[in-house]
Amino acid sequence: MRPSWMTVTFIAPTVFGMLALACLKPTKKAAPEPAMAQVSEVDAQRPVVPEPPSEPLPERAAPSEIRGPVGRAEALRATFAHMEKGEFAQAFKYLSDDIVWTEVGLPDGEFESAPAIIAFQEKARTGLSSFRIQIKRIIEAGDYQVVEYVWSAQHTGPFADGTAATGKVATLPSAMLLRYQENGLIDRVWLFQDWPNALQQLGLAPDLPNGFRPFEVPTEMEVVLGPSDGPYRETYERFLRGLGPNDSGATMASLTTDDFAWVDLASGQLVADHDGNKAYFAQRSGSFDRVATTFDTVITAAGPLIAAYVTNELIYKGGFMGVAAHDERMTTHTLDIAEFDPETLRLKTLVSYGNSYEIMAALGLPAGAATKPEAWVGRFAIAACDDYVLNMSRCLESVDSATRTSMRGALDRQVLSWLQQHGDDPSRDALKASCQAATEVATRNYKEICPRIVWQ
């Protein structure tokens, strides 16, 4: 007897258009901005706060039936085939008039019309080529659809913001959540992509994690349809809530299979060893104190799989990109895909799609050169460093746009380097000396350009 859920695997390349390789406002400034502006009109203090999904509507017709203009999977494949070719008008013909499209975690990442999305996509493509994008898995149930995919592209020309080509390739696993109306049109899209990781691969953000391995673009596409057959949500929620640094071992032992694997999207690693998972989760959890976890809704459930939209309230305890902790509070959002063993009801795999830009924004840490320098002031609690950043940011106001771009990029690279040294007392002494030396150089180089600045 066929179960109430169904899995279909397509073996053959499936062209998957990249929904967004950068997050730009449709409007633009005349002067070019450096690196991070390709991703967003950067304001690291205000990432977009997404509206959480509503509860699924199980009474909707089975997703395998033809609904609206065409079936869901066919509409999705057609959309991304057009995206691959840059045919944006055709790509978005299945969006409803009241569409809300959210790039989760990014500033200026929400769009409310097809023309705005098209303008965003056109500028996002600038400077990128050799696209290779494939769906890995589609999960459908009720009025929702989750799509996991991997995209790859090369930075061969200047970004729309003027950032020069690096010639490097970025490969990024991503996920998208779509909600369908009764007429088969899409009225809500949430996109989860770790943009800072893509910029790291292009050399436009701090160093990649140790042992980074780019993900391979998949050659097979799996489609899972139908409602869940097991009580998986309870196990999943218990697992996530039990991942504190002191109790992750007990949680793993009681709620996961012996071959449980965690997919680490930041490093490209598959943490498959059970004992290795215990150490990994203990270390990862030690970087944050979990204040609250809200399971806004389990969006889809199909076979031994669930997908959940999760909001986390955290307190930062250090360990992220070398940034010292000052108990910063932050809110992050993820789309989790969990697979279970149907016999034991234990977790087999878990992947969590998010955007570390939400963490970076809370820490005042930019993902590229286009930052607001004043956001760095006070970050070090070392007078020589904070004074240097403040003076440089004021000096930027007195120079022409070309010089400002160069100085701004140099300032951010310097600050990122200093943040990686910001730790114990000996490190802070060395950091203070480095800031004093930078101030001496700035005094010589910018004394005439910015005469009103008192450098020392």
- Crossing angle, helix 383-396 and helix 401-421, to 10 degrees? 160
pLDDT level of residue 58 (50, 70, 90 thresholds): low
Would you state the structure tokens that stand for residue 106, as one six-digit string? Answer: 């990014």
- In single-letter form, the type of residue at position 274 comes to H
Q: Which residues contact 129 (CB under 8 A, 6 or more apart)?
A: 153, 154, 156, 157
Please tell me the chain's helix, strand, coil percentages from 3-state DSSP, rounded to the nearest 5.
30, 30, 40
Fold of 6-363: Nuclear Transport Factor 2; Chain: A, (3.10.450)
The pLDDT, as a whole number, for residue 18 is: 32
**In this predicted model, which residue has the larger pLDDT, 275 or 164?**
164
pLDDT level of residue 94 (50, 70, 90 thresholds): confident
N-to-C CA span, the chain: 80
pLDDT at 31 over 70: no
Cα separation, 106 vs 361, in Å, equals: 9
The pLDDT, as a whole number, for residue 375 is: 45
The pLDDT, as a whole number, for residue 97 is: 92
pLDDT at 116 over 70: yes
The pLDDT, as a whole number, for residue 309 is: 93
The 10s digit of each residue's pLDDT in 386-431 is 888 888 888 877 777 677 767 777 787 777 777 666 655 667 788 8
pLDDT level of residue 448 (50, 70, 90 thresholds): confident
pLDDT at 187 over 90: yes
Would you state the structure tokens that stand for residue 213, as one six-digit string? Answer: 């391995």
pLDDT at 20 over 50: no
Distance of CA 217 to the CA centre of its chain: 18
pLDDT level of residue 22 (50, 70, 90 thresholds): very low
Helix (H) or strand (E) holding 430: helix 425-446
The per-residue DSSP string of 303-370 comes to BTEEEEEEEEEEEE-S-BTTBPP---EEEEEEEEEEEE-TTT--EEEEEEE--THHHHHHHT--SSS-
pLDDT level of residue 35 (50, 70, 90 thresholds): very low
Cα separation, 361 vs 342, in Å, equals: 40
Cα separation, 15 vs 151, in Å, equals: 10
**Cβ-based burial of 328 (10 A; exposed 0-12, middle 13-18, buried ≥19):** middle
pLDDT at 32 over 50: no
- Crossing angle, helix 401-421 and helix 425-446, to 10 degrees? 160
- Dihedrals φ, ψ of 210, to 5°? -60, 135
pTM for the whole thing?
0.73
**In this predicted model, which residue has the larger pLDDT, 152 or 454?**
152
| Contact call for residues 193 and 106 (beta carbons, < 8 A) | no
The 10s digit of each residue's pLDDT in 266-313 is 777 777 766 666 666 666 656 788 888 888 888 777 778 889 999 989
* % of the chain with per-residue pLDDT over 70: 74
**In this predicted model, which residue has the larger pLDDT, 127 or 320?**
127
- Crossing angle, helix 248-255 and helix 232-241, to 10 degrees? 160
The pLDDT, as a whole number, for residue 430 is: 85
The per-residue DSSP string of 82-98 comes to HHHHT-HHHHTTTEEEE
Please state, rounded to an integer, the average pLDDT across all residues of the chain.
75
Residue whose C-alpha is closest to residue 365's, from 188, 206, 179, 135: 206
Helix (H) or strand (E) holding 405: helix 401-421
The pLDDT, as a whole number, for residue 212 is: 78
The pLDDT, as a whole number, for residue 339 is: 92
Cα separation, 290 vs 287, in Å, equals: 10
The 10s digit of each residue's pLDDT in 323-379 is 777 788 889 999 999 999 988 989 999 999 988 888 877 777 655 433 444 445 556
The pLDDT, as a whole number, for residue 69 is: 42
**In this predicted model, which residue has the larger pLDDT, 204 or 60?**
204
The pLDDT, as a whole number, for residue 232 is: 86
Domain boundaries, the chain: 6-363, 373-446
The 10s digit of each residue's pLDDT in 206-254 is 667 667 778 888 888 787 877 666 678 888 888 888 876 667 778 888 8
- Crossing angle, helix 274-285 and helix 248-255, to 10 degrees? 140
